[in-house]
Amino acid sequence: MTTTFAPEITVAELLAQAPEDLALRVIAGAAGTANAIRSPRIQKLGLALAGFSPYVHRGRVQILGQSEVTFLQHLSPSDRRQAIERLPWKEMTCVLVTKGLTPPPEFLEAAERERVPVLVSSLLSSAAILKLTEFLHRRLAPRQWVHGVMVEVFGVGVLLLGESGLGKSECALDLIQRGHRLVSDDVVEVCALGSDRLIGRAPERARGHMEIRGLGILDIRELFGIAALAEEAPLELAIAFERWEPQREYDPLGSHEETLRVLDVAIPLIRLPVTSWRNLTTLVEVAVRNHLLRRRGIDAMRRFVRAHDALVAGQTEDAR
């Protein structure tokens, strides 16, 4: 079961969570800190101040840098007030003033009246935009909740899937005892960073805990120490536990490669039939080692098939 959602962050949360070197503070419009930022794209207010405002979009941070402040200061009082009043204040979420500058009083008055927070950072516009964009890209990345267990094995984030009762949590617990790390149990929050990278983490309310039938809720930090937990990990591999079906034919060579799509990013998917005599923990470790080899271009199955084909071709030639 998966649930996709588009995150947002309020201006108040931005003030509390933004990188420390941005050193954000509010100088006007504090009543609007509940306004929601929904896009990591940053816009500059220069064109809007000059009278062209169609590209000012709700849910984005607007930048007021030295060029915009200097432009306003060089206008006559009546022109400055007109330029400020025609801004699309209803579409503006917040304004970030860079280089520690102070906007004209008319701008601060309008922001206060329209409940648009005006934030200040001492950084140059280029540096502030870079840091803020990086922060918002991560904070506002598309997210999906996936039902499963995620562990970090040999530095690889592995998503364990399958119906309840097949031993996903028990396998994860065994992996922790072998020195690997738990990311999340039961529900994994996956976010997409860019077009080909996934990051998995635990929902805050469940972080560091596991549910094991017969034992209840376990605090992994208290049981195994902080080293047994990973706050997040790159999601690179999915392993689906499936009930063994005697009548079903399984691919002995693993030549049928499958993928799982999460947030439009494809990751390798391995299906492991579950029986009482199979050591799932060892199989997961070996699957990760094999994944790492394939990432380096070493594919045992393809090597075997090439060698087999060459042998068959040679025997055919000898027969001729």
Average pLDDT over residues 54-83: 93
Beta bridge partners of 153: 156
More confident residue, 278 or 99: 99
Q: Each residue of 190-231: pLDDT tens digit?
A: 998 877 899 999 988 889 999 998 899 999 999 999 999 999
pLDDT for the residue 2 = 63
Q: Give pLDDT tens digits for 125-136.
A: 999 999 999 999
Cβ contact 164:189 at 8 Å: no
Mean pLDDT for the stretch of residues 21-36: 95
Residue indicated by tokens 């959602």: 5
Q: Which of 30, 28, 88, 84 is nearest to 56 (CA)?
A: 88
Tell me if domain 7-139 and domain 143-304 are identical in fold.
no
Q: Give me the pLDDT at residue 309, please.
A: 65
Alpha carbon distance 78, 248 (integer Å): 81
Q: What is the CA radius of gyration of the chain?
A: 27
Whether the per-residue pLDDT at 285 is higher than 90: the answer is yes
**CB neighbours (10 Å) of residue 75?**
16
Is the pLDDT at 186 greater than 80? The verdict is yes
Q: What is the pLDDT of residue 232?
A: 93
Q: Are 65 and 44 in contact (CB under 8 A)?
A: yes
Give the pLDDT score at 114: 96
Lowest mean per-residue pLDDT among 12-16, 239-243, 301-305, 316-320: 316-320
> Are 136 and 37 in contact, with CB atoms under 8 Å apart?
yes
pLDDT digits (tens, 9 = 90+) for 35-65: 999 999 999 999 999 888 888 899 999 999 9
The hierarchical CATH code for the domain 7-139 is 3.40.1390.20
- Spatial separation of the C-alpha atoms in residues 61 and 89, rounded to whole Å: 12
The pLDDT score that the predictor gives to residue 188 is 95
Query: How confident is the model at residue 168, as a pLDDT?
Result: 93
Q: Does domain 143-304 have CATH number 3.40.50.300?
A: yes
pLDDT tops 70 at residue 251: no
User: What is the SS3 assignment for the chain?
Assistant: CEEEECCCEEHHHHHHHCCHHHCCEEEECHHHCCCEECCCCEEECHHHHCCCCCCCCCCCEEEECHHHHHHHHCCCHHHHHHHHHCCCHHHCCEEEECCCCCCCHHHHHHHHHHCCCEEECCCCHHHHHHHHHHHHHHHCCCEEEEECEEEEECCEEEEEECCCCCCHHHHHHHHHHCCCEEEECCEEEEEECCCCCEEEECCHHHCCEEEECCCEEEEHHHHHCHHHECCEEEEEEEEEEEECCCCCCCCCCCCCCEEEEECCEEEEEEEEEECCCCCHHHHHHHHHHHHHHHHCCCCHHHHHHHHHHHHHHHHHHHHC
Q: Where are the domains of the chain?
A: 7-139, 143-304
- Measured CA to CA, the distance from residue 195 to residue 212 in angstroms comes to 35
Backbone angles phi, psi at 219, to 5 degrees: -95, 105
**One-letter amino acid of 131:** K
Res. 295 pLDDT band, cuts 50 70 90: confident
Strand 94-97 and strand 9-10: the pairing is unpaired
What span, in angstroms and rounded, lies between the C-alpha atoms of 280 and 286?
Answer: 10
Model pLDDT, residue 248: 75
Reference 241, options 143, 156, 170; nearest CA is 170
Which of 11 and 50 is assigned the larger pLDDT? 11
